Amino acid sequence: MKNRFEVEAEDAGKRLDVFLLENLQDFSRSHIKNMIEQALVSVDGKVASKSGMTLKAGMCVQTEIKLPEPISTEAENIPLDIVFEDEDVVVINKPQGLVVHPCTSTKSGTLVNALLFHIKDLSGINGQLRPGIVHRLDKDTSGLLVVAKNDFAHNALAEQIKDKSCHRHYLALLEGNLKEDVGRIETFIKRDEKDRKKMSVQASGRVAISDYKVLKRFEKCCFVEFVLQTGRTHQIRVHAKFLHHPVVGDKLYGHEAKGLAGQLLHAYKLSFTHPRTGNRMTFEAPLPAYFLNYLSKIGKNDE
């Protein structure tokens, strides 16, 4: 689908991406940026190479819009490690490499697709693409998350996350050694303006608080427990980078590690109050084999 826009006098001086954002109202700034990077936008017959190009009156802007492939919400027979299930909630031990819900970059093969196959009912509060999803884990972060089977449970669990009575504990291996054995990281985090795949510490962001405790020190890294006080996207990974000790294997915020598919970050403990019974429930998931093997390897190197 192609569109053609003529730059009027009142639009002169505007950036190309701003102009398109105003004229293609169903598209986000990031989508428009991607269109420009994929050479789908031209100005006066020439492919536009910069989002910040300044427009002049009389210019002709043309776009070629590729409609996205449909995102699948079909049930898929993907194995799940179900730690607990009743009529209200399901606790899942998510493996590394599994995306939580479908998105433009991962249209199927997600935790949601698996849930639709294995679980009869899921809450509908987050819509068709994220049924039952109360909180998320990054693709390459393993461990526990709770899923709501109905709207009553979903609302109750979401409120617990909001008021911090749902406790989430993580284990991570960090590059280098932290100076202090225990501490609190309190910053502001928002989407990075230069790289939209990343989050970063910025004064204009939302408050993000993580508590940490060093459990074991090795020569070149340290094994750390994190407890989230807030739940920002990529929070632990961003905070680890902020301390100049990124999570081992974190290709986005740190460095790729030989033999690892992703970061060594595991949500090992989850505590919440059951929405219906009021009972306090705590679940733990052991470290995955690849994480244990890596710890064993560096432990032997330190001997």
How is the chain classified by DSSP, letter by letter?
A: -EEEEE--GGGTT-BHHHHHHHH-TTS-HHHHHHHHHTT-EEETTEE---TTPBP-TT-EEEEEPPPPPPPP---------EEEE-SSEEEEEEPTT--SS--SS--SSSHHHHHHHH-S----TT-SSSTTBSS---TT-EEEEEEESSHHHHHHHHHHHHTT-SEEEEEEEEES--SSSEEEEEEEEEE-SS-TT-EEE-TTSEEEEEEEEEEEE-SSEEEEEEEESS--TTHHHHHHHHTT-PBTT-TTTS---TT-SS--EEEEEEEEE-TTT--EEEEE-PPPHHHHHHHHHHHHHH-
Rounded Cα gap, residues 164 and 154, in angstroms: 15
- Per-residue confidence band for 196, with pLDDT thresholds at 50, 70 and 90: confident
* Closest to 241 (Cα-Cα) out of 232, 250, 231, 233: 250
Rounded Cα gap, residues 246 and 288, in angstroms: 20
Mean pLDDT of 154-169: 94
**Lowest-pLDDT range of 70-74, 89-93, 237-241:** 70-74
pLDDT digit string, tens, across residues 224-239: 999 999 999 999 999 9
Is the confidence at residue 55, as pLDDT, over 90? yes
Question: Where along the chain do its domains lie?
Answer: 2-64, 69-161, 164-285+294-303
Same fold, 2-64 and 164-285+294-303: no
* Fold (CATH) for 2-64: 3.10.290
pLDDT of residue 60: 94
Which residues are annotated as catalytic? 138
CATH architecture of 164-285+294-303: 2-Layer Sandwich (3.30)
Alpha-carbon torsion 252, 253, 258, 262, what sign?
Answer: negative
Mean pLDDT of 50-65: 90
Is the confidence at residue 67, as pLDDT, over 60? no
Q: How many CA atoms lie within 13 A of 251 on its CB side?
A: 12
Q: CB of 179 within 8 A of CB of 159?
A: no
- CATH 2.40.50.140, applies to 69-161: no
Q: CB of 116 within 8 A of CB of 74?
A: yes
CA distances from 164 to 74, 161, 168, 188, 228 (A): 33, 5, 9, 18, 9
